[in-house]
Amino acid sequence: MIEKILVLGSNGQIGTELVTALRNTYGENNVVACDIRRPDYDIKNSGPFEFVNVLEKDILNNIFQKYKPTQVYLLAALLSATGEQNPKLAWDLNMNGLLNILDLAITYKTAKVYWPSSIAVFGPNSPKVNTPQYCVMDPNTVYGISKLAGERWCEYYNQKFGLDVRSIRYPGLISWKAAPGGGTTDYAIHIFHDALTKGSYASFLNAETELPMMYMDDAIRGTIQLMDAESSKISIRSSYNFGGVSFTPEVLATEIKKHIPDFNLTYKDNDPRQEIANSWPRSIDDSFAQQDWGWKPEFDLSKMTVDMLKNLQNKS
Ligand code: AKB
């Protein structure tokens, strides 16, 4: 069967890299990038692109009608920090965007749907260290609430309608190709840019804030690995815990200093993102992902730091 894949939210931090990876595997014309913004690349000389707002169901319907996708990746979302600035929009986009796609996937018999969840589904009363797949979940951001509700909807559509929907709870994703979009973990990307351009960085999270993170190469590989797994192997239809590497701003700065010895890290006070970070896990137990579909990250802190600095240097 020839796959036809829609990626909604294709210009974001994940979409930018996922579209390339999928086009390398499935062919340029079989992966349709969709976003509300024009992509940076030349549309005419790349694969297909459609302007789509996931809240406009009629237009979405036309896209499903036109391409009859076998796989859909829904990445469009408002993240934790920007979500708090506009809670109603975050809820609307994150929730109704998902419901629109789940409904259309049923109507058009889409074989597989991918939707990302996040460590933001956990909250102040969730265990902080090696946070298990199943535990207290009391998110206190609109983003986290929408992701937790979305997980329940994914499982519901799987159980009630047999939809093959798959999901991962992403940690903070570190990448150099596209800018991050309004998350609490974004400091871990800005720090690399500022280390190279200014030799210093003022972190909005404090020195001890340990959070689960992952290099984008691992995240893309894991996402495609989950989507390629036999359906019978997927025991979780809400969303999988997904582990990479955990570190604090201080530990990351120490690693960067191995390459830029004069790098200086300072800290800003009173940033609202600190409270969000305090409510999230420090590390993740992803044994279900390991057992069900063989998940194993390849990038530790040192390998990630080398790759980030090399690529950002080459880019400039
Ligand atoms: C955010 O910080 O909001 C995201 C996430 C962890 O989902 N990077």
State pLDDT tens for residues 95-130: 999 999 999 999 999 999 999 999 999 999 999 999
- Residues 258, 150, single domain; the answer is no
Same domain, 152 and 258: no
pLDDT digits (tens, 9 = 90+) for 240-289: 999 999 999 999 999 999 999 999 999 999 999 999 999 999 999 999 99
Decide if 227 is inside a domain.
no
The neighbouring-strand residues paired with 212 are 246
pLDDT in tens, 161-180: 999 999 999 999 999 999 88
Q: Are residues 157 and 198 in the same domain?
A: no
Is residue 117 domain-shared with residue 258, that is, in the same domain? no
Average pLDDT over residues 289-305: 98
Co-location of 128 and 259 in the same domain: no
Residue 143 among the catalytic residues: yes
Residues 161 and 19 in one domain: yes
Query: Do the interacting molecules here have an ipTM over 0.95?
Result: yes
Pairing of strands 211-215, 245-247: antiparallel
* Length of the chain in terms of residues written: 316
What does the pLDDT look like over 13-23, one tens digit per residue? 999 999 999 99
- Give the span between the Cα atoms of 278 and 121, in whole angstroms: 13
238: in domain: no
**236 inside domain:** no
State how far the Cα of 11 lies from the Cα of 13, in Å rounded to an integer: 7
Q: How far is the CA of 26 from the centre of ligand 1 (A)?
A: 28
Residue 45 has a pLDDT of 64
> Cα(2)–Cα(88) distance, rounded to whole angstroms?
39
Measured CA to CA, the distance from residue 32 to residue 190 in angstroms comes to 30
Of 39 and 12, which is predicted with more confidence? 12
Domain boundary among the residues 117, 150, 170 is at 170
Neighbours of 24 (CB within 10 A): 10
The CATH code of the domain that includes 58 is 3.40.50.720
pLDDT exceeds 90 at position 40: no
Task: Tell me the three state secondary structure of residue 245.
Answer: strand
Query: Ligand 1 centroid to 118 CA: how many Å?
Result: 7
Q: How confident is the model at residue 149 (pLDDT cuts 50, 70, 90)?
A: very high
Residue 32, domain member (yes or no): yes
Place 43 in a pLDDT band, splitting at 50, 70 and 90.
low
Number of domains in the chain: 2
Coil/strand/helix, residue 84:
helix
Q: In terms of domains, do 148 and 16 share one?
A: yes
Residue 205 structural domain: 172-213+243-315
Asked whether residue 41 carries a pLDDT value surpassing 80, the answer given is no
Residue 154 domain-assigned (yes or no): yes
CA of 120 to the centre of ligand 1 (A): 7
Asked whether residue 158 is assigned to any structural domain, the reply reads yes
What is the pLDDT averaged over residues 233-239?
Answer: 98
Backbone angles phi, psi at 167, to 5 degrees: -155, 155
Kindly state whether residue 218 falls inside one of the protein's structural domains.
no
In-domain check, residue 273 = yes
| Res. 44: pLDDT tops 70 | no
Q: Is residue 206 over pLDDT 90? A: yes
Q: Identify the pLDDT of residue 316.
A: 79
Do 108 and 257 share a domain, yes or no? Answer: no
Q: Can you give the pLDDT at residue 14?
A: 97
pLDDT at residue 46, as a whole number: 83
Residue with CA nearest ligand 1 atom 1: 183
Last residue of a domain, one of 135, 170, 205: 170
Domain shared by 76 and 137, yes or no: yes
Q: Are residues 117 and 187 in the same domain?
A: no
Of 139, 170, 201, the last residue of a domain is 170
What SS3 state is found at 174? Answer: strand
Q: What is the mean pLDDT of the chain?
A: 96
Q: Which of 143, 170, 201, 215 is catalytic?
A: 143
Instruction: Based on the fold, state whether residues 125 and 147 are members of the same structural domain.
Output: yes
Ligand 1 neighbours, Cβ below 6 Å, are 79-80, 118-120, 143, 170-172, 183-185
Q: Are residues 163 and 48 in the same domain?
A: yes
